[in-house]
Chains A and B, each alone.
Chain A
Amino acid sequence: MADEKSISVEVVYRGIFQKTLAQRICRSIVLASRKKGHTGTAFSRYGDSPERNGVPAKQFAIVAVDEIELEASMAKYEPAVVDISVAVDDTLVKGVESWAWYGRQPIWKPIREGGTLLVTSEKTPGEIVAQSDRTPKPYTLGIVPGGASFAGLWVYKDDHTDYRVLGALAKVAPRWLPLEAAKQAALDLAKGDRSAAASVQYGYDATVLRQVGAGEGTDGHEKLQFTKPGWTTMRPGIVVDARKPGQRNPQYKKYTARTQRPVVNFDTCIKCTMCWLDCPDECFEVTPEGHYEVVYEACIGCGICAQVCPVKDCIVMVDELKFADNRDRWQDWKKDRGAYNTWFEKVSGVPADPKAAAPASAAGGDD
């Protein structure tokens, strides 16, 4: 808690892709604070397992002055309130929905009033606040420079994200993680490689802090909240309503698993049905003309549609933070093709007309 006796940190990450990263950060928090004689524990939220690709998940580190204080802070297995939350992918600030029946939670939800949110990002603090839910409580936002580090279940990309985050933590919680202890722990973890300590120093120096006041943030994200049923209101026999054909799950939408979203060029689409067939989440709806539009509430951003589409740049994967809502886009195209295509070029960075020259900036796409 926020008192002097212990500190709790959560790491919010993309399931599978950042599992090892989150684990390394949480372990290094405990090991670094141990250098100062503190004790601690690191653990993952059991309910996240088995993890799903990209689905937001959490791990925790709790550090305390002694075992008694540690036990007191650990009495709740999943801390409802944390001092610091670390989001290791900036698209997570649009809110998190775990695979369980949690609805969508604002990124700052468990952070105590006056606590800290660290985000690894190449964006400005302003851009991050603009995509975070409007907050009722003030907190400090810290941007740890760097893109999201993604790897797999069995591989780890050793790009020092963990050390940079440790440096940022030394900056915001020096009482628990003094810079020297953080560096020493990084050196231990990196088996003496001095560059690890340098990355801690870099995270410490380069992290930009900004106060976020109560009332800042967006109201644009969907409120997806539920009341969990009791044993008398739940259907007996472990039965839940199935989706009827054409219906989508209103209780689990999965779009917070997305870091990029597919944007479709309806003018170059040859209506081959490949995207519709191969999308693992059946996100495509057929339009009256036989085009395929993405239902963004259901899309997890896996990119398969962009890979199978036979037409170059017809489906382009675009950074999720460029979008403020989940509205279907085919209506826009239907209304005004020219305006749609201008928008398409702007967000995707590829020309809407394949015969035209490429626009100046290329911001993504899947070749």
Chain B
Amino acid sequence: MEEERVGAPEGRDRVLADLRALGLGERLLTAPAELAVFSSDALTAFRQRPLAVVLADTAEEVVATVRACHRHGVPFVARGSGTSLSGGSLPLEGGVLIALNRLNRILRIDPRARLAVVQPGVVNLEVSRAAARYGLQYAPDPSSESVCTIGGNVAFNSGGAHCLRHGMTANHVLGMRVVLPDGEVVDLGGESLEPVGPDWTGLFCGSEGLFGIALEVTVRLVPVPEAVHTALAVYDSLEAAGDAVSRIVASGLLPVALEIMDALAIEAAEASVKPGYPPGAAALLIVELEGGRETVAADAARLAALLRDSGAAHVRTTEDPGERALIWKGRKAAFSAVGWLAPDYLVQDGVVPRTRLGEALAEIERLAGAAGLRVANVFHAGDGNLHPLILFDGREPGALERAEALAGDILRLCIRLGGSITGEHGVGVEKRAHLPEMFGPDDMELMGRLRDAVDPARLANRGKMLPVGDGWS
């Protein structure tokens, strides 16, 4: 990856000298063995060793590091917990990696205003834990919620199963303090749900680290629902499960989650976390309703009728938190669980219009068959966000290439059906070549202009999201 390498070696020496002068002590890593730990994120097919890693303890250290990088023209990458599935937090060879997971303090919770101010390295689930004593929670719930950080969530506008009703990260971020790629610190947004003026906060969310680093994030909190009803429906075909989703959406019900798992994903879940799903299912549909108890009771009755009419072979429902947690455990562990089925996997994140889910799934099956690869499907059916898990064995020559080719075909399929190449995992390095397949030349040109205006030296997360070559990176 020639374009991602850093230019002048003098710059590297100088930046290291400046970083040493910050007095970071053992929190400045430069030894190869220490750096190796940080050489990839959850997309392990890509690895690169950074020049140095800064384990920042304070926002001031982050700013000072960014300024040092800027002074010497050395690119940098912010890293939360490194759970990115698209290579977003992959370090740059010769660049500085700024690790933020020690910036993990919840600075303030205001239960009256229903908001929290947190440092970027706070783990997603910790926000809900801290808010629980006020009867509040932080709604976006990526499956990686127990590890991933708010800063990473902001950079990717991450979602989760319950985002169907609650919205993505950007819908829950009210304001932030960020350091721009040249070291200037600015405040975006504020504490109100009704910002005035262009939505700078909304633009920063999902910018994949290209606009700088979030130093402090103000998020909204929502009441913990009074009642939750979870239904698990078993189908003898994936298509039937998909049809059930269409029926539910058309009925006017607004579940908080609508998730599907196919036979292979169920098998993987049973092999690993043993959620006790009904045996022999070709597809599982998880539907969750939440709200006030009267509404949930009425909606649950409507849902039961819909599921009955949809030809479900079996339906299990629960209001019990323990049983609910078990149902979700199988779903949320699905990515890591496929490790039981194959040594390696690639997870895709394309979106299709929800009425075309059936068509998309059939075509993915056909493409996988043609490529001679197995694909497990577990997805956010309610919003058309697919997660095909392409299984392969990286030790087999050519297997990774075949898996990547299939992944590309699936992305093109999503574009062709009028969807998107990513619903929540971001473009990263993995899908950067596909962005221009989804957007036209003028759209891409504006994205490049935006990045160059904010970061003329192209230091922040260089080589991510925007395609490389042709003067992009």
Interaction A to B = no
| B contacts, CB < 8 Å to A | none
| A contacts, CB < 8 Å to B | none
